[in-house]
Structure formats: structure tokens, C-alpha cells
Amino acid sequence: MNSKEKNKRFWLSLDDLKNSLSFAKAKENEFAEGMTDNFNPEDMPSHSRRKFLALAGASAAFAATACTNYRDKGEIIPYNKKPDDLTIGTASYYASTCTGCSNGCGILIKTREGRPIKIDGNPDHPVNKGKICAAGQANILNLYDPERLKEPHSGANGKFKFDNWKNIDNKINVALNNASANNKEIAIITHSVLSPTQKKLFDDFKIKYPTTKIYSYELFDDRTRQSAWKQCYGESEFPVINWGDANVILSLESDILGKEGNFVEQIRLFAAKRNVDDAKNFNRLYVAEGGMSLTGMNSDHRLRIKPDAQFEFVMCLLNEILNVRKAGTISFGPLAKSKIEQYLLNEFAQKEKLSMSVLNSLVNDLISNKGKSIIYAGDILAEKVHVAVNLLNEVFGNNTLYNKERSSVKHLDLSANEEIEQLIGSMYSGNVGVVIHFDTNPVYHFAPDYGYSTALNKVPVVVTMCEHENETSLKSHFALPVHHNFESWGDFQTRTGLYSLQQPVIAPLYNTRQKESVLLHWLSGSVENYSEDGYHQYLMKNWEQYIYPQLSVASDFRTFWFAALNDGVVNYKSVVQGIGLFNYNKIENLIYSYWQPAYQHGKSNFTSPVISVVTAESDASKKSEFSESLGLVLMLTGNYTIGDGRFANNGWLQELPHPVSKVTWDNYAAISLNTSKQLNVKIGDNVDINANGKKMTIPVMIQPGMADNLVSIELGYGRKSAGTVGSNVGFDGIQFLSKKNSSAKLLKDFTLSKGSGKYKFASTQEHHAINEPEVMDYHKKRHIVQEGTVAAFIKNPDFFRESKPKAEDISIMNRVQYKGTKWAMAIDLNKCVGCGICVTACNVENNVPVVGKDQVMVGREMHWIRIDRYYSDSPVEPETSNQPILCMHCDDAPCENVCPVVATNHSPDGLNQMVYNRCVGTRYCSNNCPYKVRRFNFYNFRNHFEDGYYHKDSLSLMHNPEVTVRSRGVMEKCTFCVQRIMEARQEAIKNGVPLKGTDVKTACQEACPADAITFGDAHEKDSQIDYIRNHKLGYHVLEELNIKPNVTYIARLRNKATEVKS
């Protein structure tokens, strides 16, 4: 580490960087300002604590003196006949498939006494290998959501009344028969079809009702990628990429580690190449993007390029490699060549203000890693960028990284915009008899200029199947409640060579039906004898007749079927014979046609766009305004937590901090620091955006690392009818989408101006910040985040240790000598990408409550593990570092010394224990914790949030019965999942073997897709944790305090290209 790196300053926000006084003060205080304000016990719903204590004292005195009879201890109700595979108090696990998005990951559902309580990935699933995203983890809350639609409803104009299934079936059967008799269309609108059996069901439905048409759509789709593959290789199915074999990855505006593709798999494969013991083989991640994404945060080199400049960038790379470096094996005809030759990398760099040394090292890396690198374009980019990227990958021979056996599978094409338009046209002209929304919400999802909502008024029968009431169900005649994921049967095929199965793990909680079952029942034509088991039988029959024979399995069908259900997945030898040949001739012509006549060498296009801004602070009427001519781009992108809005009513996900900005419960318009200066706005100021005839006022977030002149808004927020939790959270960017534009998510035709008013974000960014003052004495400087480079590490593996300040081992306390087991954790910061999946897993495992936006604002979020995000270097192009912080279970824990009632103390196996029923809520411990990881229950948050929303009956089924549900007035914090330690101990005693450290997996460790977390017994020789604790790159946060924390961090090594000067 050179002295410059040593003095590198890490900052949490722009306020921090500027050394703003208020933030400096906030860092010094344990509680954020206002955290303990306005806390009036009198306002609380039930008794105040004082009153409670008085009552408790009085009743204790009465109870002690009064000679009452024995207290009744209640009853124990055993089963009448116990299911065979169930032991009370022991969890059962069932393999199934998640239906939260179109990735179809395999999941393992943990149930206790028949209640699902925790979701993890299915370790046998070859794609997600035991890991699942945050939404998948939190999906359990959707099952028990008190606002699920519980009964079928019928009505119109948003006014509904309870109805029974039989009545509704009757009416719909009549409507379906009428429609097909009168040659009126029956439209079924579904999300992408991933299930072969569902596809068959649709086909059967079409046979029975021939006027049926199936439409499928996704808010976030990969249609541009598909069409580019069709252009290049003749097939729109694209292969899976072997990310784990890539030495160099160039990601173009694609969040491969955050939200695009199967990012859980991508994180795992990416992180596997970040093993510090194999530092020579580190992959190198280049990210060229405009928005600041999770992938960008983890890049080794980041290039700020606006999304509309990506095509130029790829072409410049192509030209540089083919014509300047002469490194390619192919050559184009003179026509295409003449065009390609005009894309000059150095001029592009000048124009976009990119570092030439980074670009040179990128080109060098790509050339020297031919066949071992991958260039990947984001879903949001236009087809031509994808074509150019495919070409570039071919030029480098990177097609070796395409998995020949696994490719995407399409059961049904996503509908083109024209098809949807046609449907809406016939709806208006009265040619549509019935519309069935197959658990979809097009009123919210469709671009407003379709006029879908009004078109629905012209349809005589609109049916919406949904779990929750939503925007579309309110416009329907029938709202039919459907089963949750965990109550349903199904099969999925998302890739060739693989099926995964879905099975119910709990009987339906309400009067719901599986959506496929409903169709199947209508198919039968009779309203009588609805069978809950219908779709299960249909599924099995389809497998027995069509799928099982193709698999050529040795066992008989029933054996095979039960084995498949047990495993959750069926692997088979894929019959797909690789991918088609790259069509050079066609692509050459395409590239030629892509060439923009306006694009001319050295001409005005190459001068950087001058943004003239009318700065009129005093004159409010003369607002500063940007427009297209100034090169402004609006990017509508995906969000990290709530999917396409379907998880909006999930408090856990709404409260999960955004991995980059750490904002909860909101979205915003992200802009760069420079753009904000030109626009004269600060964080939280409202701006007005006008696009496609729609106007929206949205607050801005100044995002370090954003490209200038780019506005980015995440979609999925701003739902109007999502339920108590999810309605009116954030701002709805979908209204800017347009049917006319195939790549509608990149807008140039819009105006942006400063609005009036301010908005307050609930950001956890500056909460629980660790003080890092610029102290004069260098050796005392707190090295909270410590980093190095791969080159330095390879040169001298001890460089980190040598540079570490030596702390004197003195303590005012008597050091406890730990014998036997001593629990410890290690977090590899090379692998951690900061996705936040661990936070959600911890929430579910440990019954962590949702507190709500108002409480997050005053710093009362309850997460036991948080991910601190630090920026370093300039706020325009920062480097970012992630650091998960949880209770360190310090040997000499400062919290323990100050508790007046010894509610927190140390166990002999090294755990810092927190005893809730002893805690009286002085908060001294929290005050004394240097890591700021203790969380205080200012309220009974379940009761406090939205008038007891999470206190309703159904929610109590969800809680982990092995963990206390904490109430008001007690402190809590990470326990190292002591319930799991105890379970492992129980098993060890049962089997008569000693407890091993590897027997325990904490919830965060189990969930971490990057395998960054290690947990175990520090005293176990030759164990992984013992090795990491003594690793050359290992360090403790705030080591100099000498409190002996037990979470070891492995310093992050950045794989900087050597030729790039830092």
C-alpha cells in the first residue's frame, strides 16, 4: 500500500465529503438527531411504561400475598393422527420453485409444524445452487400478508362484494361460451410462460375456446437481447454464459450482479473468481455505465458512459481491435470497414472524458484474454448494441464461454407491442368478449398511451386472478383470489437440460384456488365438482405422457415422480446442439445500416455537448431547463427489491436499503453531481419531468458516479392500489413508457426542470456511520475499510500486515481465556458485492420487524446486519467499498460493562448474549457500542407500524418459533443465530459426537450468494475460520480499540490493471 492509498479517504455521502458540520456531529453521536425526539409515551397505544410498572408492581404484590389456587397452565393439544414425516419441534424441508420473477430459481422451504417459516435456495438446483435473492427470501411475507385477497369478489367500477366460486364459475362459463359462439376474442394476459404444463393448459384452453389468444408480457424483458440473437445466430434463444471462466468481464449498462438475468447465479460465479488464495486468477471487471449500479460498485475500473453512447463505444472498441491493433481474425468488406474505421477510440475518449489509460488496458486485457473474456450488454440497450456486442465477442472468440448445453428456453414468445396494440384496438371495437388477467397487472404495467385502462371498460367480462387487490383487479368484474407460490403445484423449465418442480407446502390459508386450476375447471365446462387436486393430476398426467418418456429414466413413473418432487429438480442431457453459426454477412450489412449519417469523423458531434443552463435562482418563473439538444437522457431501469411492483406490499423489501444509495421506501431521479449543479438542485429537491405528454414531480438523489446529463428512475414504485404497505410508495416512472418505442426505457425526448418543494428520503446511509475523523496522528487513524491491489499482494503477500498499525495489547479488563468452542465469523470483502440478501435472510430468520418509513427517517431501523457503503476518491467518479457490519461479539465487549442489569454478557463459547427478559431498556449498551449494531425497540413495531398491520393473526404463523418476538423497550442485536448453534448442539448430543464449527451455518452465511461469509469455531485447528482469522489480509474493524472483535474481514484487493495510474 503506498502512502497515497493509506491516506485515501472514505466517505459515506456528499455531506460527509464536504465535512458538513451536521454530519460530523451525527457521526459522533450514537443516535441520529431526532431518533429519541418526539418519543412521548403518552401517545403510545396501550399503557405507558411507568403505568405498566406500577400495575406490574401492584399485581405482583397481590399475587404474592393472595393465596390463590394453582394457576391454570393451559392445554397441550396433540394431533389426533400425526402425519408420518413430522416431528413436533423439528423442521421439515420441501423443494419447490420460486415464482417471484422469470428466473424460476429452485427453493427449499423450511416448515415447522406445517407452517413455512424460511425460504432458502435449493442446493440441488444447478442454477442458483442453494441461494435465492432478497425477494425470494421475503416472499414468505406475501404468503401471510393480512391483505391477501381471501374470497372471490364480483362487481364493477371498483365496487366489489363477496361472491362464491360456484356463482362466478357459472357466470364466466356462460361468458366464455358466448364469446366463442359469437366469435369474440378471449384474451388471456400472462407474464412470461416458464412452465411446459401451463403452456399445455393454454393450448387445451385454446382448443376448447378457439377464439382464445394468449398475450404475455414482462415489465423488464430481454426482447432486445433475443432479437439481436435472432439477427446474429438465427435463433432468439441465447446460451447461458460461463461467467466463472471469464478472466475479463466488460459490462455495458447491465447490472449483472444486481438485477439482470439470474444475478444470484452470476454473483456466485463472479465471486468464485475472487478468491484471495488464488489472487493470480482474479477476474477483472470493467463496467461502462451511466447509472451507478451494484455491478458498477464492484468494478475494478468504471467508465462513465451514457447509455446512448454505448453503441459508439462498442464500435470504437471494434475498430480499435480490428483496424488499429489488427488483433482480430475476421475482416469486413470495404463498405462496412469504411464505416467502422470512422469510430475512433481516442476521440471517443476525449468526447466522453474517459481515461485513455483505462481504455488501453481494457483493450489490452480483451486482446490478451481472447476466448476468456466476455462483453455483456444490458437489457435496456437497443438491439444494435447487442448485435455489436455479439460481434465483438465473436471477434475475440469469446463464444467459447457460451454454454453449449444450457440455453434459455421459450415456451411462448413475449407479445410484441403491435400485438398488444391490436388487442386494445379490438377491445375498443367490441371484438373482445372476455379478458382474463392471469395473475398480471397490466393496468399498472402497460405504457399509458396504450389506453388499456379505458379499453377495459368496453369489455363485457374482465376477470383478474390475483393474490392481492391491484390496479387491474379494481377495473375488473371478477377478482379471483389465487394461491400463493407455496400453496401451488407447477413445473418450470427456464433452461435446457433442466426442469424444476413446484409443490405446495401448506394447505390454502384462504378460500383461494390455484390460477391454473381455475382455468382447468372452466375447461371442464361444469361448475360442479371443483377439485383442489385437479391441476396436480393434470400436471402429473402431462409429465407421465409427454415429459417423462423423453427423459429416458430407468425407474417407473411414480418412483421417478416422487424422487423428482423430493429433489425439486430434474436434470437431463440437453438435446440442444449448441448455438447457431454467427451470420457474418448479415451482420456486416447490419453494421453498415446502423451507421448514422450524422456521425462524422472529427465533426461537431465529437465536441462535448455544451449545456447552457439558465440559472435563475431568484427568478422562479425562469426555470432552468434541459432538452434533447443538450444530450440529456432519461433512463427507466429496474429496481433491486420489489420486482416489477408485485412485491410492493412487502414491508421487508420496501425497508431493505437500496444497495447503492441506501434509500428505503422510495425511488427517486438519480442525477450526477455536475448535472445537479447545473440544475441547481440538492438531494431531495423536487424536479419536474415532462415526457410523452406526462408530467411528474420527483425528488432527486445526487448519485456519485452517475454519468452527467443522465436521469435514472427505477420502475416498480408508485403503485396506487397495492395495499396498506405498498400503495403510494415512491413515484411511478411507468407513465413515461411509450408503446411506440421498442427501447422505450431510454428517453431523449423529454424536459427536466427544477421543481418546487423538497422531499425527505428515509435513507440509512448516514445512520450508524462510523466516525473517521481526519486526525493529525496518522497511526491513530481508524482504518475501517482497508484495501489493496492484487498487484501489490502478488508482489508482496505480507504488504498488508506490514502496513498495519501495531496496536498495544492492553486492557483494563481481565482477559477471559476461552476454552473449547469459540464462535467467530469472517467476511471476505473481495466476494461481498453488497446485494443485501443477507439482510433479508436475517430479517426472516430472526423475526426482525418492519418499522416503516417514518421510523427509518429517525434512525430506528431494526436490521441486525447492515451493509455500509463507502465512497472514496472524487464524488464524480468514486470508488465504492461495501462492508457488512453486524455484532462483532467482542471478547472484551464494551456494551457488557455498562449494562446496569447484566442483560448483556458473555457466554463461555464466545457469544455476546442479549437477554431480552432481563433488559430494562437503558440503551447504555448501544451508547457504548463502537460498531453501532445494537437496535432498540422504541415501540412494539409490529403493533406500531400502520396500526398493527404486522400484528395481525396470520403473521404470527410466520415467525420463527425458535426466536423470541421482541416487544417494546428491549435492546436486540445479532446473536450469531444462536438458535442454529443450539440446534446443531442438540444434533451433536443426539449422535454422541462433539459439536463441530462447520455444523452451524448462520442465516446470512447460508443466504450469501457470493459465499463471502464463513462461520465456525475459531479454536478448531485447520478449520476454514481458523485459517481466515490468521490470513495475511485479515483485519478487524476498529482493531486499535483492543476489544477483540470476532468478525474478521479480509481486505478487498482491487484488480487494477497495472498500466493504469491511480
Partner 1 sequence: MKKTVLDYALKVRLPVTVFVILLSFTLTFFISRPERDGIGYAPVQPIKFSHKLHAGMMKIDCQYCHTGVEKGRFATVPTASICMNCHSIARKDKPEIIKLAGYFNSGKAIPWKRVHRVPDYAYFNHSVHVNKGIDCKNCHGDVARMEVVSQVHSFTMGSCLNCHRNAHQKMPELARQIKNGPDNCNACHR
Contact status: 60 vs partner 1 (CB under 8 A) = no
Question: Closest CB to partner 1 among 676 and 975?
Answer: 975
Question: Closest CB to partner 1 among 74 and 900?
Answer: 74
Contact status: 369 vs partner 1 (CB under 8 A) = no
Rounded Cα distance between 323 and 593, Å, is: 19
Q: Are 623 and 273 in contact (CB under 8 A)?
A: no
Closest among 695, 673, 716, 743 to 308, alpha carbons compared? 743
Contact status: 779 vs partner 1 (CB under 8 A) = no
State the nearest-atom distance from the C-beta of 977 to partner 1, in Å.
Answer: 9
| Cα of 387 vs its chain's centroid, Å | 28
Question: Closest CB to partner 1 among 112 and 944?
Answer: 112
CA distances to 48, 305, 352 from 313, rounded to whole Å, are: 64, 8, 10
Contact status: 963 vs partner 1 (CB under 8 A) = yes
Sheet holding 106-112, edge to edge: 92-97, 106-112, 115-121
State the nearest-atom distance from the C-beta of 66 to partner 1, in Å.
Answer: 8
Question: Which of 82, 558, 815, 952 is close enough to bind partner 1 by CB under 8 A?
Answer: 82
Question: Which of 137, 964, 1042, 1055 is close enough to bind partner 1 by CB under 8 A?
Answer: 964
Contact status: 87 vs partner 1 (CB under 8 A) = yes
137's enclosing H/E stretch is helix 134-144
Contact status: 89 vs partner 1 (CB under 8 A) = yes
Contact status: 962 vs partner 1 (CB under 8 A) = yes
State the nearest-atom distance from the C-beta of 44 to partner 1, in Å.
Answer: 22
Letters for 912-951 (x = contact with partner 1 by CB under 8 A, - = none) are -x-xxxx---------------------------------
Closest among 756, 749, 609 to 691, alpha carbons compared? 749
Name residues contacting partner 1, limited to 981-1010 (CB under 8 A): 982, 985-986, 989-990, 992
CA dihedral 302, 131, 503, 638 (to 10 degrees): -20
Contact status: 597 vs partner 1 (CB under 8 A) = no
Dihedrals phi, psi of 1047, to nearest 5 degrees? -110, 115
State the nearest-atom distance from the C-beta of 530 to partner 1, in Å.
Answer: 23
How many other CB atoms sit within 10 Å of the CB of residue 954? Answer: 16
Question: Which of 53, 63, 330, 993 is close enough to bind partner 1 by CB under 8 A?
Answer: 63
State the nearest-atom distance from the C-beta of 84 to partner 1, in Å.
Answer: 11
CA distances to 302, 331, 584 from 315, rounded to whole Å, are: 18, 14, 16
Q: Output the DSSP codes for 682-716.
A: -TTEEEEEEETTEEEEEEEEE-TTPPTTEEEEESS
Letters for 140-179 (x = contact with partner 1 by CB under 8 A, - = none) are ----------------------------------------
Q: Are 752 and 686 in contact (CB under 8 A)?
A: no
State the nearest-atom distance from the C-beta of 958 to partner 1, in Å.
Answer: 17
State the nearest-atom distance from the C-beta of 961 to partner 1, in Å.
Answer: 9
Question: Which of 4, 81, 326, 779 is close enough to bind partner 1 by CB under 8 A?
Answer: 81
Contact status: 817 vs partner 1 (CB under 8 A) = no
How many residues appear in the chain? 1062
Question: Which of 737, 911, 974, 1025 is close enough to bind partner 1 by CB under 8 A?
Answer: 911
Rounded Cα distance between 1055 and 594, Å, is: 35
Contact status: 71 vs partner 1 (CB under 8 A) = yes
Beta strands in 439-535 (DSSP E): 461-466, 478-481, 490-495, 498-502
Q: Are 678 and 738 in contact (CB under 8 A)?
A: no
Question: Closest CB to partner 1 among 14 and 981?
Answer: 981
Q: DSSP secondary-structure letter at 246? A: -
State the nearest-atom distance from the C-beta of 889 to partner 1, in Å.
Answer: 11
> 980 burial class (0-12, 13-18, 19+ CB within 10 angstroms)?
buried
The one-letter amino acid code at 138 reads A
Angle at 973 between CA 969 and CA 976, to 5 degrees: 145
State the nearest-atom distance from the C-beta of 137 to partner 1, in Å.
Answer: 21
The one-letter amino acid code at 324 reads V
Contact status: 820 vs partner 1 (CB under 8 A) = no
Question: Which of 21, 46, 79, 334 is close enough to bind partner 1 by CB under 8 A?
Answer: 79
* Helix residue ranges, H only, 555-635: 557-567, 584-594
Question: Which of 905, 954, 956, 998 is close enough to bind partner 1 by CB under 8 A?
Answer: 905
Question: Closest CB to partner 1 among 77 and 610?
Answer: 77
Specify the 3-state DSSP secondary structure of 377: strand
Contact status: 65 vs partner 1 (CB under 8 A) = yes
For 708, the grid coordinates are 452527467
Contact status: 42 vs partner 1 (CB under 8 A) = no
Contact status: 90 vs partner 1 (CB under 8 A) = yes
Question: Closest CB to partner 1 among 73 and 1061?
Answer: 73
Rounded Cα distance between 108 and 950, Å, is: 25
State the nearest-atom distance from the C-beta of 86 to partner 1, in Å.
Answer: 10
Question: Closest CB to partner 1 among 597 and 992?
Answer: 992
Name beta bridge partners: 287.
251, 302
Q: Output the DSSP codes for 868-913.
A: EEEEES-SSS-EEEEEEE-----TT-HHHHH-TT--EEE-TTS-EE
Closest among 524, 563, 511 to 152, alpha carbons compared? 511
Stretch touching partner 1 by CB under 8 A, among 59-67, 213-221, 225-233, 397-405 = 59-67
CA distances to 339, 587, 589 from 333, rounded to whole Å, are: 10, 11, 9
Stretch touching partner 1 by CB under 8 A, among 84-92, 428-436, 546-554, 692-700 = 84-92
What sign for the dihedral angle of Cα 17, 712, 344, 360? positive
The DSSP bridge pattern shows strands 248-252 and 669-671 to be: unpaired
Stretch touching partner 1 by CB under 8 A, among 23-31, 57-65, 315-323, 809-817 = 57-65
For 431, the grid coordinates are 371484438
Dihedrals phi, psi of 313, to nearest 5 degrees? -60, -45
CA distances to 28, 757, 782, 1051 from 800, rounded to whole Å, are: 28, 49, 15, 9
Stretch touching partner 1 by CB under 8 A, among 87-95, 228-236, 523-531, 892-900 = 87-95
State the nearest-atom distance from the C-beta of 962 to partner 1, in Å.
Answer: 7
Number of amino acids touching partner 1 (CB under 8 A): 48
State the nearest-atom distance from the C-beta of 81 to partner 1, in Å.
Answer: 4
Contact status: 76 vs partner 1 (CB under 8 A) = yes
Stretch touching partner 1 by CB under 8 A, among 156-164, 232-240, 471-479, 980-988 = 980-988
State the nearest-atom distance from the C-beta of 1045 to partner 1, in Å.
Answer: 18
Question: Closest CB to partner 1 among 71 and 1021?
Answer: 71
Contact status: 242 vs partner 1 (CB under 8 A) = no
Rounded Cα distance between 88 and 339, Å, is: 72
Letters for 311-350 (x = contact with partner 1 by CB under 8 A, - = none) are ----------------------------------------
Question: Which of 4, 42, 46, 64 is close enough to bind partner 1 by CB under 8 A?
Answer: 64
Contact status: 1060 vs partner 1 (CB under 8 A) = no
Radius of gyration of the chain (CA): 30
Stretch touching partner 1 by CB under 8 A, among 165-173, 338-346, 598-606, 904-912 = 904-912
Interface residues with partner 1 (CB under 8 A)?
Answer: 61, 63-82, 87-90, 905-909, 911, 913, 915-918, 962-964, 975, 978-979, 982, 985-986, 989-990, 992
